[in-house]
Every structure is written in structure tokens, then in C-alpha cells.
A and B are shown apart, each in its own frame.
Chain A
Amino acid sequence: MSLARRIIPCLDTDGARVVKGVHFEGLRDAGDPVELAARYNAEGADELVVLDIAAARDNRPTFLETIRRVAEQLAIPLSAGGGIRSLEAARAVVRAGADKITVNTAAVERPELLSELSAEFGAQAVVLAIDAKREADSWQVRIRGGRQATPLNAREWAQRGVELGAGEILLTSVDRDGTQSGFDCELTAAISNGVSVPVIASGGAKVPAHFLEVFTRGVADAALAASIFHDQVQSIRALKEFLRERGVEVRLPC
């Protein structure tokens, strides 16, 4: 008996539709979130993340309706985020069917949010998303979809976030995101070895070897990707078979 490494598809939405694009630039439609959720649930995804990347453009009711419809399709955990700045907003997302709440910019601006969420929903339901960019020999936290720098060191912020109540870190390499050149294993290992909670690696995935590398050299507990799954460049089942053949424990659904 041991814990399997998780493969997690991510749906970036504009509230209603799945979209693709780097840092809000050149967004294009990548499908219906409900259809994609049903497909990933059937294909053996271990969890699903749904983010509202247009959260600032006030379409919350649309996003909550999307969460509700996605949750109906799933028999796996669902994590939701994007623009959750208060306990009230988090409650609405949980009531709509999310098992976990993902927060990023709002936690940097008001770290107590993590404690508030953890007290109400439990640490296992609180995911701290960190967008990290390399600066000399460390990584700096960026907010607002990676566009704005902060003085925070990513490893220190991850540790602080865990102390405050986060039960998981969703770590995105701003340098690798959208490049399909592989996960930043150095960054992932630095954070994963520095915290007591699971770490989900994100940013840069293209081929199965990238996942193998982030689970071994990067010490990731889970790995997240979006477009390679949406575009059917990579099937989840084939990816898991590749990993299992190379000694990584993964769950192959019956």
C-alpha cells in the first residue's frame, strides 16, 4: 500500500468556456468544460482543477454554474479557484460542488484568508497556488496571473502558507508555463522538500518523460497539465501506463 502520484488536468475557463492562452493574451476557445470533465473522469484523471481566469471581469454566477455542471459529471475530486477572495466566495464554490478551494493572489494580499478557509473547510480543502519565477538563484512569487512581481520568496511563502493552513501547494513555473519544454524540476524539488504537504507541479508539460522527471527528480506528489490533454496530444491512460512501466506508482482505473 502506498500513495499513487496524481495526474490532474486543469480547465482554465473564462467562466463558461475552457480557454487557452498565455497570461490572458490571445485567448482561444478550447472546449466545453462539462464535456471535458466527463472525458477526464472516464479516462482516469485523479482529480480535476477548474480555474476562472477571467474572475476579475465579474461573471461569478456563470462560473458557479460551470462548477455545478462540472461537479455533476465527476466521481473524482474537484478543485476550483480564480478570484476567491473571501470565506463567503469560497462557501459559494463549495456549495456548488468543489471539494477544494484554490487561492493565489488573494492569499498574498491577505494571508489570513488561508487560516479562515482552513478553519472552516479543513486544511485538506485549501490549496495555495504559487506562481514562481526564477530570479538569480531563488524563485520569486508573482501574482495576477504571473504579471506582477512580489518581494516574496517562493519557498518561504509556501512554508508560511502551510503554517497558516494550506493543505496542498499548486506550484506553477512562470518561466516554463506555456513553453512545453518540461516542468521546472529544480523549483518543484526545492518547494516539495521544503514543505510538509503535497505539491502539485505545473507549467511546461508536453511528453510523458516530463512527468516521469517531475515525479522523480522533482519529487512532485502530483502533476498538472492543460492543453496536452484538451488537444488529445496525450491520453491520460497512456501517460499512466508509461509511468507505471518505469516504476512510478499510479492509479490505473479498472
Chain B
Amino acid sequence: MNVTLIDYGAGNVPSVERALQRLGAKVETTNLAEKIAAARCLVLPGVGHCAALIAALDAHALRRPLVEAVGRGAAFLGICLGLQALYESSEEAPALKGLGLLPGRVTRLPESVKLPHMGWNTLKTVRATRLLDSVPADAYFYFAHSFAAPAAGQESAAVSEHGREFIAVLEKENICAVQFHPEKSGAVGAQVLRSFLRAAA
């Protein structure tokens, strides 16, 4: 399986690359628009500030090729900020436009709990998804974020909770995304990546 891993210059991209390679994927790490335009399987990882991700996508002129690749059916997996970037906007960077592939706005988790939501949490499945194939219902995944997508969207496949419920796993046609870090979530995280690669093949 050939995977095009979008490296926009922030965060720990090598750990995602390594996690995919361990599963036998052939990974090309790139920030070139033409590579992304031609990709059949795209992974957008992300940590840090939402504005940095959006600004970097625009700086490298990656927004259009990315949206077009997804539009023509390329398999897509967003991780953490890579999930949040799919929406129209984020409270973290109100002046910037998200990719707008999904409707809605990413908002901050409530102040009533410690933020960032950092550590291992469980999921509640709301709709069958290939991404959670062979994953035990009580499995823990590693999260590290303060903003999250609303839980109500039709794309939602599983939610988690920290102060409020939020989307932890989404799947809409060829668009998949997870709020947790599968590359940091031990064996169950690897299983999620394996399921994505299988579905994308």
C-alpha cells in the first residue's frame, strides 16, 4: 500500500511514518502539491496549533490538491488536528477557514476539566466503522488536545468524553479521521491504522 503522508513542517511526523511502515505501508512523506494531487491514499497528521496547520497548508498551496484528491475518492485519514482541519472553522483560529470537507465548527473543551485532554481514554461507538474492526470495546487510546469536533455530526462513528462528548472517530465515504493518536496508542492504535490501510487498498 502506497501512502502519501503530508508533512507540513510541525510535530512528530516520523512517528506516524514509522507506525505505517511497521504495518508494511510504503510511505512517501511530502509537502509537494503535485504529489498530494496524485495521491490515492493520504494521511494528514497534526499536533500543535490549528492555525499553524492551516497556514502551512496554504503556504505550500496544498489546500486545493488535498480537497480535490479527497473529492475524487482518495482514501484520507486525518489524525488529531488532521481531523479538526476537515471542518469549516475552529474556535482555536477563528480568522482562518478549515478545509470545509465537513460542516460545523471545532470548539474548545469545557473549562470544568483539566486541559489539554491528555492521556488515555475510551470510546463509545455510535455507528459501525471499519476503523474499529477488531478493536475491543473497552480499549484505551491516547489523546492530546484542547479543541474538538462536535459530537452530533452524521460523520461521527465513535465519541469520547472529557467535559463534553466529542467525535473521536469519524468516517464519511472515503474520509476517515481520529482525534486520538493511533501512532501513540499501542497495539490498538496499530490496529486502527491497519484497518484504514486495508479499507484504502
Contact with A along B91-120 (1 / 0, CB 8 A): 000000000000000000001001111111
B161, CB-defined interface residue at 8 Å: yes
B49, CB-defined interface residue at 8 Å: yes
B149 to chain A, nearest CB (A): 16
Give bound CA distance, A1 to B142, whole Å.
13
Beta-carbon contacts under 8 Å, A118-147 to B:
119-125
Hey, which chain B residues are within 8 Å of A251, CB to CB?
A: 120, 140
Residue ID in chain A nearest B145 by CB atoms: A124
Pairwise interchain contact A94-B145, C-beta atoms closer than 8 A: no
Closest 3 CB pairs of A and B: A122-B48, A251-B140, A124-B144
With beta carbons under 8 angstroms apart, the residue of B49, B117, B188 that contacts A3 is B117
A62, CB-defined interface residue at 8 Å: no
Beta-carbon contacts under 8 Å, A60-91 to B:
71-72, 74-77
A196, CB-defined interface residue at 8 Å: yes
Pairwise interchain contact B10-A120, C-beta atoms closer than 8 A: yes
Pairwise interchain contact B161-A75, C-beta atoms closer than 8 A: no
Give bound CA distance, A107 to B170, whole Å.
39
Hey, which chain B residues are within 8 Å of A95, CB to CB?
A: 14
Give bound CA distance, A41 to B12, whole Å.
18
Hey, which chain B residues are within 8 Å of A121, CB to CB?
A: 10-11, 47-48
Give bound CA distance, A221 to B144, whole Å.
14
Selected A-B contacts with CB under 8 Å, 23 pairs? A1-B122, A1-B161, A2-B162, A75-B19, A75-B187, A76-B186, A77-B142, A77-B144, A77-B181, A94-B12, A98-B12, A99-B12, A123-B116, A123-B146, A124-B144, A124-B145, A196-B115, A197-B116, A198-B116, A198-B118, A221-B114, A251-B140, A254-B188
B160, CB-defined interface residue at 8 Å: yes
Beta-carbon contacts under 8 Å, B1-41 to A:
10-12, 14-15, 18-19
Count of interface residues, chain A, beta-carbon cutoff 8 Å: 36
A67 to chain B, nearest CB (A): 11
Pairwise interchain contact A75-B12, C-beta atoms closer than 8 A: no
Q: Is the interface of B mostly helix, strand, loop or mixed?
A: mixed
Give bound CA distance, A80 to B161, whole Å.
28
Hey, which chain A residues are within 8 Å of B187, CB to CB?
A: 75, 253-254
Hey, which chain A residues are within 8 Å of B67, CB to CB?
A: none
Pairwise interchain contact B117-A75, C-beta atoms closer than 8 A: no
B131 to chain A, nearest CB (A): 17
Give bound CA distance, A167 to B94, whole Å.
21
Residue ID in chain B nearest A192 by CB atoms: B114
Pairwise interchain contact A3-B120, C-beta atoms closer than 8 A: yes
Residue ID in chain B nearest A71 by CB atoms: B15
Give bound CA distance, A97 to B183, whole Å.
12
Known: A1-B160, A121-B47. A46 touches B11 (CB 8 A): no
B162 to chain A, nearest CB (A): 6
Pairwise interchain contact A4-B123, C-beta atoms closer than 8 A: no
